Amino acid sequence: MSEEELKPCPFCGSTNIRKNFGIFPELFCSECEATIYAYDNYEDLDKSWNTRPLEDALQARIAELEERLRLVPISEQKPEFINSVIFVNDIHTWIGWRYDDDDYDTFDKRIGYHEKPTHWMPLPNLPEVKDE
């Protein structure tokens, strides 16, 4: 694995990661001096440096939430029929539903039937309520 493939330093974010193949081969950050040593198999140094299970899990969760919270253009994809969703246009944001091919409705009567949404997103999941 070449230096360009190494992840940035997990502590300071620097990409200035150096290799030193002395008595104990090491990878270290030139900025904050975070270091990882190889006492047995120095071929695993790059893999060890790039192993970040918590960071990888958090990045996956962030990507999942960003996708879920993304406003979807109606021109790209229409919401399912009858399901309540959040609609927006350049004037309003409202909760409503699609009841026909290009017809949308809401209980909010301030939103006129002539207003068409431009984007939508699913409603967030309701929190679990536990009886005490």
DSSP assignment of 116-128 equals --SEEEEPPPPPP
Confidence of residue 3 (pLDDT cuts 50, 70, 90): very low
Q: Is 86 helix (H, G, I), strand (E, B) or coil?
A: strand
Helix segments in 9-127, DSSP class H:
45-50, 53-68
pLDDT at 22 over 70: yes
Contact criterion met (CB below 8 Å) for 87 and 104: yes
SS3 79: coil
Quick one: which of 58, 43, 42 has its CA closest to 10?
58
Average pLDDT in the 62-84 region?
Answer: 91
| Coil, strand or helix at 62 | helix
Q: How confident is the model at residue 113 (pLDDT cuts 50, 70, 90)?
A: low
**Three-state DSSP state, 104:** strand
